[in-house]
Amino acid sequence: MEKKIIKTSEAPAPIGPYNQAVMANNFLFISGQIALDPASGELKTDTIEEETRLVMKNLEAILLSAKLNFSHIVKSTIFLSDMQHFALVNEIYGSYFEKDYPARETVAVKTLPKNVNVEISMIACA
């Protein structure tokens, strides 16, 4: 199995012992992204809308660095700090896909890294 590390300065650097993404065969496994601004390193969590858009922008930057886009996503996992955010996050997330949505689960968890409200990971197929 061939494994290639994917990294870009257009998305936040990892905050632990992991990579932004790993390409294995034809699959891209993207680590969970939070609302860290890649330029400043600051969290952007004023509103759930702002937070979700930055998470999606970070995911898109990683996809583009692997020469992929959201149409290649086959699986997503959304972690929320509170299910009350579900409707807004779902609306923004859904706007990044045109059709043939990927498989997905959304779960509420007690705490997320840096106390953010949303984290999303994805798997893409080239």
Residue 16 lies in domain:
3-125
Cα–Cα distance between 32 and 65 in angstroms, integer? 16
Q: What is the pLDDT of residues 88-119, one digit of tens each?
A: 999 999 999 998 899 999 999 999 999 999 99
Q: Where are the alpha helices (DSSP H) in 36-111?
A: 48-65, 86-94
Q: What is the pLDDT of residues 49-94, one digit of tens each?
A: 999 999 999 999 999 999 999 999 999 999 999 999 999 999 999 9
Q: What is the CATH number of the domain that holds 90?
A: 3.30.1330.40
Contact 19, 6 (CB under 8 A): yes
What is the count of structural domains for the chain?
1
